[in-house]
Amino acid sequence: MKVLLDDEGNVNYDKITRSSTVQELLDAIDIFLKDNELHCDKCEDSCCKKPWAVEFDNVCVNTLCNWDNNAVRDFIQDKLVMKENFFKQFDQYVLKKDANCNFVTKTNLCSIYEQRPIICRLFICSAKSHRYNVIRELIGAAYLEALVSEEKIRNIYITHTILDMIKRNPAVLAKDYSVLLDDIILYAQEEGWLDVDDLQELYQAL
């Protein structure tokens, strides 16, 4: 998988195959950013200093907390707050903050860069193609919802039926970002997160 600038000058990807994973897309973004370097340290309009929500996903929080359930519980209680995602209608955790993200340094860099949330990893501050934005939102939604679902599994007694329902999301209990994009797209379809018109476009090769 490759991330590139398409004919319209938008950030895009070449193709999704049956075996493409979220991690492959993240690796492709890293390669793209090496060739199209962002100068965050000199940026006067930092995306990390905007009032918008910084959304936290399960893999990010688990990694920051060294996969310790008690530390995850404390992190969620101390640093995050639950907010509804109005567009896709599910609950997600966002950072408690005013304007700046709590993890941005004085020199405009991310102090948790290696463990930063999936939404930050997928963000590129250039014009993006529609389908790049669609896949970015679907991946984000699956991993964000997974954090809330895992919190339910940890803290609340739930029946096997509810557990089976929760585990339909392929990102639930994921140890990393190696989930298949195909599985995320299928789950997004089941949840009504994906416009039928967008489905075909996601799989078209550039």
Binding site for ligand SF4 (CB under 6 A): 38-40, 43, 45-48, 54, 101, 103-104, 108, 110, 112, 116-117, 120, 125
CB of 73 to ligand SF4, least distance (A): 20
CB of 78 to ligand SF4, least distance (A): 16
Nearer to ligand SF4, 18 or 42 (CB): 42
CB of 117 to ligand SF4, least distance (A): 6
Nearer to ligand SF4, 103 or 132 (CB): 103
**Residues 94, 52: Cα–Cα separation, whole Å:** 10
**Residues 171, 133: Cα–Cα separation, whole Å:** 19
| Contacts of 76 by beta carbon, 8 Å cutoff, 6+ apart | 61, 93, 147, 151
CB of 112 to ligand SF4, least distance (A): 6
Nearer to ligand SF4, 47 or 180 (CB): 47
Nearer to ligand SF4, 101 or 194 (CB): 101
CB of 1 to ligand SF4, least distance (A): 21
Nearer to ligand SF4, 16 or 72 (CB): 72
